[in-house]
Chains A and B, each alone.
Chain A
Amino acid sequence: DAMVIQNPRYQVTQFGKPVTLSCSQTLNHNVMYWYQQKSSQAPKLLFHYYDKDFNNEADTPDNFQSRRPNTSFCFLDIRSPGLGDAAMYLCATSKSYPGGVNQPQHFGDGTRLSIL
């Protein structure tokens, strides 16, 4: 089945130690999103790629970076994780086009990040 896969499912890192979360998709969707979701809150969009074009949200901290080396893969890099970065990180994809509003986003199972 076509899907969105996030690895690992659980990630533990140390305070200040860089960490990378990965996302891959077999849907061949041109848009990929990264969300941060803290306990009992709605997902918060960090950034998204439209093909190779990177779009950062205005309030995303500089500590968060992303790479999309090809259509299938997207990475979230946290350069110096702080305790406040402990959260669920969700990757999503959609088949979209400029101005499009009717395509659902398909999510991976998420990576739960803990900071020691």
Chain B
Amino acid sequence: AQKITQTQPGMFVQEKEAVTLDCTYDTSDQSYGLFWYKQPSSGEMIFLIYQGSYDEQNATEGRYSLNFQKARKSANLVISASQLGDSAMYFCAMTRKGGKLIFGQGTELSVKP
């Protein structure tokens, strides 16, 4: 069965520092996609970054990068130069065939001034 695991229920980071949010996954599929979403307290789910299972380069989008280690089945999100507005819940997710998403349980990130 496919599964996403986020082992950090909550994280704190000092403003302007980098932070890594952990995500491991389990799948027997050869083709899959890995996604990170940000959910502020207001509730909207914001797409941040995508990594395909066949992509050899780690994905980057501005201050977000995805540290993809296929052999370890991990897809950690790195946020550089944290800002107060980065405080939110972060979900790691994986697509199955047909595009359905499997979510992890989320990590609540708090950025301290």
Contacts and interface: CB of A to CB of B under 8 A. Distances in A.
B44 interface: yes
Interface string B73-101: 00000000000000000010001111111
Chain A facing B: main interface SS? loop
Contact of A96 (B35, B91, B99): B99
A102 B32 CA distance: 7
Nearest to B89: A40
Given A99-B97, A102-B95, A104-B50, A41 B105 contact: yes
Interface size bucket, B side? 20 to 34
A115 B101 CA distance: 28
Contacts of B31: 99, 101
A110 interface: yes
Contacts of B46: 107
A90 B35 CA distance: 17
A100 B99 contact: yes
A99 to B, nearest CB: 5
Contacts of B91: 42-43
Contact of A101 (B33, B43, B106): B33
B99 A43 contact: no
B97 A101 contact: yes
A23 B30 CA distance: 33
A40 to B, nearest CB: 8
A103 B33 CA distance: 8
A109 interface: yes
Contacts of B33: 101-103
A61 to B, nearest CB: 19
A88 interface: yes
B1 to A, nearest CB: 14
A50 to B, nearest CB: 7
Interface of B: 29, 31-33, 35, 37, 42-47, 50, 52-53, 91, 95-101, 103-106
